[in-house]
Structure 1
Amino acid sequence: MRTVVITGGTDGIGKGLALHHLREGARVFVVGSTPDKGEAWLAEAGALSAGDRARFLQVDLTSVDATGELVEAVRSSCSVVDQLVLCAQRYRLFGPRTVTPDGFEHSFALSYLSRYALGHGLRALLEAAPRPVIMNVGTPGVPLGRMYWDDLQLTRRHSGTKATLQSFRANDLLGVAFPFVHADTRISYIGYHPGVVATGKPAHLPQPLRALTKAGFALFATPVAKAVAPMARLLDEPPGPGFTAHRGSRQLPLKGQPFDPEAALRLHHLTEDLVSRR
């Protein structure tokens, strides 16, 4: 039986993928921060007669310690993880800069740092699987945003949009660095762009932008069930060890600054230092 761990698995595309894996007979660990959503996920698993294969782990992924405890909880529950899918994201495009109790800017902590910790922390369990995969869901190949190397926490020039886009670019570099840091890894690390998907994300936006975004989703966004299909195929038939980037079914060229190995290793070492000094 395959074991799948999905962060952000109580909403949107993460939830759609979690339900798909349950239908396929896998054991699924869903990670989220909201108990009510976790209970709803478990109820849906029960309706599929898969309650014995479904587990909800309530975790605040903005916390370095809580993410570390999540790694230990998964380690204590299983000896193999076949697929790790990193979907947890919360857009904060407006409003003031907020920091976590660890002192990290919110988007940096949730959308990048937790993914860094989980990918590296669960590596041994993944490498015990026949075809191990990490899928980091973001926007590879989109030329928006950049790394603020002299101010990664955006203390001087914060905006929600800058923080969100920097987290996307950081995740591109996270994937690039992974096979350099673990040169003998068997893990297929996939940066994945699902396109515009009809999820609940607009609920976090202020009016009237929320209404406009919902209207746009209704016209142009891909339904979750349809968006999940190419993700599931890629997870089941990964390209092989190393890093690849994809938008839907199309593999992207790894060229230019977004996938620069020197920048990727620079970010890796900076992140190690940030975590050790907190």
Structure 2
Amino acid sequence: MRTIVITGGTDGLGRALALHHLSRGDRVIAVGSTPAKGRALLHDAARRHPSAADRAAFHQADLTSAAATRRLAATLRHTHPRIDALVLCAQRYRLLGPRHLTPEGLEHNFALAYLSRFLLSHDLRAALEAAPRPVIMNVATPGVPLGRIHWDDLQLTRGYSGTTATLQSFRANDLLGAAFAATHPRTPVRYITYNPGVVATGMPDHLPQPLRTLTRAAFRLIAAPPDTAIAPMCRLLDDPPAHPFTAYDRTRPLPLTRRAFDPEAALRLHRATRDLLDTLTPQEP
């Protein structure tokens, strides 16, 4: 029985993946911020697949907090010393409005969409390496040439916009995969940065009006349903590529020679992230 950990596992792609793997007989740990959605996932899983009740679990966690993310990783290492796949889907867009800081003083998009993925990728490495064919799938936007890393101001204290912050987190995730492979050259873990395209998820729910209504209308026209969009993701999770790091735009592999995956930039961001984490005040459990 494989063990699959999915952040953002109660909505959209994450939820569809959770139900798929439970139907296959896998053990699934879904991570989310809303207990009601966690209960709904577990109820739906047991209704569809009665045997899934013993194989499905929900962990509530605030992934905007580095301390909470680290506690989650420690709990998962203790309860599941072998993890076959880690799927990173958690995201909540803040495209409009003022700059929002987490209790640790970090810019919200950076903390949730990038830093939590950095921490879980590295902190769960040992549990992943205990599996026969371990894989990390970081669901992001490789192949989209928008945004950049603001090296002199990663927390965007100057000239902030939600769009700028969101796009920076996307580009940071491109570099995260490249840096993971470079900093762990002997690991058996295969790291995939994956762009699922436009998918009908709950993303518009977090947008202000009138953008929420417009985005929902656009999704109805062009977005793929999650149950359809996960098909190529499942194939990669079942049969990970041989290369330590790969990037995909749906079924299309992307050349790693692209600037988005520049090895020097990847290691630079890795070092900057480690330095940032060293400055955070430890949070009480």
| Corresponding residue for residue 93 of structure 1 | 95
Task: Indicate the RMSD between aligned Cα atoms, in angstroms.
Answer: 0.8
User: Counterpart of 2:82 in 1: which secondary structure?
Assistant: coil
Segments of 4+ moved more than 3 angstroms:
none
| Corresponding residue for residue 217 of structure 2 | 215
| Corresponding residue for residue 153 of structure 2 | 151
Q: Deviations over 1:95-127 (max 9, x none)?
A: 110111111100000000000000000001111
The answer (yes or no) to whether the contact 1:32–1:59 under 8 Å persists in 2 is: yes
Q: Distance in 1 between matches of 2:145 and 2:77?
A: 37
Task: Name the amino acid aligned to 2:14.
Answer: G
Q: CA deviation at 1:212?
A: 1.5
Q: What does residue range 74-223 of structure 1 map to in structure 2 within 5 Å?
A: 74-223=76-225
Q: Deviations over 1:196-246 (max 9, x none)?
A: 001111111222221111111111111111001110011001102411000
Task: Name the amino acid aligned to 1:130.
Answer: P
Unaligned 5+ runs, structure 2: 281-285
The answer (yes or no) to whether the contact 1:2–1:81 under 8 Å persists in 2 is: yes
Aligned: 1:45 with 2:82: no
How many residue pairs get aligned? The number is 278
Q: Distance in 1 between matches of 2:103 and 2:210?
A: 32
Q: Distance in 1 between matches of 2:53 and 2:111?
A: 31
Q: CA deviation at 1:254?
A: 1.1
Task: Name the amino acid aligned to 2:234.
Answer: A
Q: Distance in 2 between matches of 1:242 and 1:197?
A: 27
Q: CA deviation at 1:154?
A: 0.3
| Corresponding residue for residue 70 of structure 1 | 72
Q: Distance in 1 between matches of 2:12 and 2:28?
A: 16
Task: Name the amino acid aligned to 1:74.
Answer: L
Task: Name the amino acid aligned to 2:147.
Answer: G
The answer (yes or no) to whether the contact 1:187–1:240 under 8 Å persists in 2 is: no
Q: Deviations over 1:2-35 (max 9, x none)?
A: 0000000010001000110000100000000111
* Higher deviation after alignment, 162-171 or 37-46: 37-46
Q: Distance in 2 between matches of 1:65 and 1:203?
A: 27
| Corresponding residue for residue 283 of structure 2 | none
| Corresponding residue for residue 6 of structure 1 | 6
Aligned: 1:55 with 2:57: yes
Unaligned 5+ runs, structure 1: none
Task: Name the amino acid aligned to 1:184.
Answer: R
Q: CA deviation at 1:255?
A: 2.1
User: Counterpart of 1:60 in 2: which secondary structure?
Assistant: coil
TM-score calculated relative to the size of structure 1: 0.99
Q: Distance in 1 between matches of 2:259 and 2:279?
A: 28
Q: Distance in 2 between matches of 1:172 and 1:126?
A: 20
Q: Distance in 2 between matches of 1:120 and 1:30?
A: 19
Q: Distance in 1 between matches of 2:65 and 2:205?
A: 24
| Corresponding residue for residue 25 of structure 2 | 25
The answer (yes or no) to whether the contact 1:187–1:241 under 8 Å persists in 2 is: no
Task: Name the amino acid aligned to 1:23.
Answer: S
Q: Distance in 1 between matches of 2:243 and 2:78?
A: 26
Task: Name the amino acid aligned to 1:7.
Answer: T
The answer (yes or no) to whether the contact 1:186–1:241 under 8 Å persists in 2 is: no
TM-score calculated relative to the size of structure 2: 0.96
Task: Name the amino acid aligned to 1:202.
Answer: P
Task: Name the amino acid aligned to 1:31.
Answer: V
User: Counterpart of 2:230 in 1: which secondary structure?
Assistant: helix
Q: Distance in 1 between matches of 2:152 and 2:197?
A: 31
User: Counterpart of 1:134 in 2: which secondary structure?
Assistant: strand
Task: Name the amino acid aligned to 1:159.
Answer: S
User: Counterpart of 1:144 in 2: which secondary structure?
Assistant: coil
User: Counterpart of 1:196 in 2: which secondary structure?
Assistant: coil
